[in-house]
Amino acid sequence: MSTQQHRFRKWLWRGLLGLLLLSVAAPLTGWLLLRGSLAKLDGSVVADGLSAQVTVERDALGVPTVRGQSRLDVAYATGYLHAQDRFFQMDLLRRVAAGELAELFGAKALGIDRQRRLHRFRARARDILSHSPPEDRALLSRYVRGVNDGLSALLTRPFEYGLLRIVPSPWQEEDCLLVVWAMYFDLQGNLQGRELARGHLRQHSTKEQLAFLLPTVSKWDAPLDAPLDFPLNSPTTTETPVAIPSVAPAWFGAHGPGQLTYLRDTLRTSVGSNNWAVSGMRSEHGGALVANDMHLGIRLPHIWYRLLLIYTGDDGQPRKIGGVSLPGAPAVVVGSTGKVAWGFTNSYGDYLDLIELERDSQSPLRVKTANGWETAQTYQETLRVKDAQSEVLTVTETSLGPIREVAGRSYAIHWMAHDPHAVNLGLIKMENAHDLTSAQAVAHQAGVPAQNMVAGDSQGHIGWTIAGPLPNRKASEAATFPLRVTELAQSFQGVRPGAEYPQVNDPPSGQLWTANARQLVGPQYELLGDGGADLGARAQQIRDALARLGHKQPEKTDERAVYQLGLDDRALFIDTWRARALAALDDTSVSGHPERAEFRRLLQSSWDGHASVDSVGYRLAKGFLNALYEELFGGIDRELSRLAPGADFDSANPRWPAVVARLLDERPAGWFPSGRRDFHEVELAAIDRVTAQLTKGGTPLAKATWGAQNTARIEHPFASVFPFLRRWLAAPPDEQSGDQDMPKVAGPSGGQSERMAVSPGHEERGILNMPGGQSGHPLSPYFLAGHAAWVKGEPTPFLPGRAEHTLTFRPK
């Protein structure tokens, strides 16, 4: 071998060795960087500003018990934990509320930023903070210090920022308020689309047609201020179904022949949450039993963060609060204190008005209000964009709210979220509530999106009220449509005093329940109004199941029994639509139509009365109802979607199944959809739509199980951005039972974000589980800890278990 060949081989081997080392070093470096952003679980941290030592013990699920001498010290440790486990989630929440997502994701996020920045919530947060009590500022300051210390203590920045090539921005006090406004968007963000849709329907319908199409009550309602056997048209309410007009609106039933758009199989995640309570007279131990499952979009990391806080109150008495928190804020959102337990569901009141403005043609900034002409203010909002030039957005704001342009019209957005009382730290005072009365007083002052709060105390009392600000007005149907300036008297003026909030306490039945439906039928309902309340099938099913629990010895009820109610997947509501489909599929209708014959066979044979994963019958019956929606309202939905995002007939009237049922029962001749001769033909067309949709691609109808449709898609937002990481950033694709019109609400990416059943003073018997783990880090053992139990519905303890890791914070 020549010297030249020898040298060539030598350098070749060196090159190959270098490539090999590089191929090993690159992933190893990435691995080490990824591990560097894992939370610190053991050891000690020296922290400035602590009054005494704080310990954090984590159990096998990573749930922390935080012990300190003061609420300020505990707030610091809470912030530290939130940042180490969930900082990227916190960052997204504040940016979603403030309209600052493009700083992370670039120009593709500008559309959302423009919509959100219109509300200028960061500026509003700064103004609220400038007027906040000193004790609130002190608590926020300690929490924020904990967040930033926790973030700085990570060896490397959270992995999401490494992928985005961005350094995370420090947390600020105003950000704690922004995460609450993020929940306003989540829980009340559909109200603008609802009002616009209703306004369009009013413009293109007669008064009589509108009254039929938008009912305010139905036979499915289960109000709290009525008997347990409450029926429609009972003496408790004067509301009765209106007559069906002889002629339908021109838009009704417009659709393309044979056209298949979407079938409404998926969960409406904007409709969600159940809570219920049983009084002490029906529990084994005499304490109230409170259960809650809040329905939200489910993703990784999970929205809630479990914890147990133990400290000494200002009165020298011990405090022990367990439950779930929202990373980014220091409060326990839902939980139990040993004296009081509480849970929330979205209240769906009328908390927003769109007010059509009259503008001066000579001076566009001059708008007319009830007090005459005023000059609107303009603000220049800078939208920063990653890897691109910033954009300047001009926001025009009136005394009624910011202006939004829709289809050539100007609307002021008059929203409770803009009120100075909309966001505060009031919910933290729940930690000091000693009974139901004091807990409800806290609720009335809390700055959160208005919620149905069901609470109970250790003495066995239970009660319902609203937590969060209520508009100061007597609600009217007119205010559920866009208002003209001449109708401003129908809009609200500030916040209703807490002493005037509606309440239902200690009912003779010993039970309370809410499920996003109409809560009341009496005069107190006028304090809430209708912001898109659900049909009520869930509420009715919960009410009736509760009525069977714990009425006599030795059959008093307990935590497991009330928890189990939340897993009820009986298809009582959809069974009525299955019966309608079977009635439509008579022998004449299936003769010569083998697909319809198979549809009928499966409705009969693959049905167990539940929304089971193996049930084909459930999916067909649900699909039948959804296809009827498409037959009757698909055309107007396509029209409304061009008007504004989120505008459709469903948002205008979530009670639409009651409308469809009346049409099928009464079969008015003037309401046949275009191209249909009668309602029997409408029913068959709906069945044919479902069949065509489910057998597309050659799939046999018998394989169309509910589980195949209702398969979980729970994942980190980066799973779709970086598909090669999906296997590490997503939960298993479990098939799920349950659906939206039953207690066990479950959809592919939405549903029960937690399940809780607890009695104050008996927390050791309580139950709490979640679909996601404590950590947002895919390498953490707590990323999906507890997920399998949530999927199976297995009860896991409310209180954290034995400590497996201990982290100590010591004063500097």
C-alpha distances in Å from residue 237, one per residue of 63, 226, 231, 337, 511: 47, 9, 10, 38, 21
Looking at the chain, how many residues does it have? 812
pLDDT class of 370 with cuts at 50, 70, 90: confident
pLDDT class of 369 with cuts at 50, 70, 90: confident
Beta strand 805-811 pairing with 43-47: parallel
Give the pLDDT mean for 128-142. Answer: 97
Query: What is residue 5's predicted lDDT score, i.e. its pLDDT?
Result: 61
- d(C-alpha 500, C-alpha 463), whole Å: 15
In this predicted structure, the answer to whether residue 344 has a pLDDT above a threshold of 50 is yes
Of the candidates 712, 743, 721, 263, the one whose C-alpha atom is nearest the C-alpha of residue 516 is 743
Q: Which of 11-15, 281-285, 611-615 has the lowest mean pLDDT?
A: 11-15
More confident residue, 4 or 556: 556
**pLDDT per residue over 345-365, tens digit each?**
999 999 999 999 988 888 889
Q: Which of 349-358, 435-444, 716-725, 796-805 has the lowest mean pLDDT?
A: 716-725
More confident residue, 563 or 364: 563
Query: What is residue 234's predicted lDDT score, i.e. its pLDDT?
Result: 56
**pLDDT per residue over 789-800, tens digit each?**
999 999 999 999
Of the candidates 556, 537, 638, 554, the one whose C-alpha atom is nearest the C-alpha of residue 271 is 537
Of the chain, the percentage scoring pLDDT greater than 90 comes to 85
In this predicted structure, the answer to whether residue 256 has a pLDDT above a threshold of 80 is no
Q: Which of 9-23, 152-166, 354-368, 589-603 has the lowest mean pLDDT?
A: 9-23
- d(C-alpha 497, C-alpha 444), whole Å: 8
Query: What is residue 26's predicted lDDT score, i.e. its pLDDT?
Result: 45
Contact 530, 480 (CB under 8 A): yes
Of the candidates 631, 530, 620, the one whose C-alpha atom is nearest the C-alpha of residue 577 is 620
**pLDDT per residue over 89-115, tens digit each?**
999 999 999 999 999 999 999 999 999
Query: What is residue 23's predicted lDDT score, i.e. its pLDDT?
Result: 53
Give 496's Cβ-side CA count (13 Å radius). 25
Query: What is residue 228's predicted lDDT score, i.e. its pLDDT?
Result: 86
Query: What is residue 251's predicted lDDT score, i.e. its pLDDT?
Result: 95
Query: What is residue 154's predicted lDDT score, i.e. its pLDDT?
Result: 97
Query: What is residue 538's predicted lDDT score, i.e. its pLDDT?
Result: 96
In this predicted structure, the answer to whether residue 291 has a pLDDT above a threshold of 80 is yes
Query: What is residue 259's predicted lDDT score, i.e. its pLDDT?
Result: 46
pLDDT class of 554 with cuts at 50, 70, 90: confident
Give the pLDDT mean for 581-596. Answer: 97
In this predicted structure, the answer to whether residue 416 has a pLDDT above a threshold of 60 is yes
pLDDT class of 485 with cuts at 50, 70, 90: confident
- d(C-alpha 148, C-alpha 107), whole Å: 28
pLDDT class of 786 with cuts at 50, 70, 90: very high
Please report, to the nearest 10 degrees, the dihedral formed by the alpha carbons of residues 489, 493, 498, 503 taken in order: 30
Of the candidates 627, 633, 638, the one whose C-alpha atom is nearest the C-alpha of residue 671 is 633
pTM of the model: 0.94
pLDDT class of 810 with cuts at 50, 70, 90: very high
- d(C-alpha 421, C-alpha 415), whole Å: 12
Looking at the DSSP bridge assignments, the partners of residue 284 are: none
What is the average pLDDT score of the chain?
Answer: 92
Beta-strand ranges (E) seen in 327-482 are 332-336, 340-346, 352-356, 359-360, 363-369, 372-375, 377-383, 391-398, 401-406, 409-415, 451-457, 462-467
> How is residue 282 annotated by DSSP?
G
**pLDDT per residue over 673-709, tens digit each?**
988 999 999 999 999 999 999 999 889 999 999 999 9
Query: What is residue 361's predicted lDDT score, i.e. its pLDDT?
Result: 85
> How is residue 204 annotated by DSSP?
T
Residues 6+ apart with CB under 8 A from 670: 245, 246, 247, 248
pLDDT class of 232 with cuts at 50, 70, 90: low
Three-state DSSP at 512 gives strand
- d(C-alpha 788, C-alpha 786), whole Å: 6
Looking at the DSSP bridge assignments, the partners of residue 397 are: 377, 402
Contact 147, 79 (CB under 8 A): yes
Contact 88, 160 (CB under 8 A): yes
More confident residue, 309 or 522: 309
In this predicted structure, the answer to whether residue 258 has a pLDDT above a threshold of 50 is no
Contact 420, 127 (CB under 8 A): yes
**pLDDT per residue over 47-64, tens digit each?**
999 999 999 999 999 999
**pLDDT per residue over 452-483, tens digit each?**
999 999 999 999 999 999 999 988 889 999 99
pLDDT class of 14 with cuts at 50, 70, 90: low
The CA radius of gyration of the chain, in Å to the nearest whole number, is 28
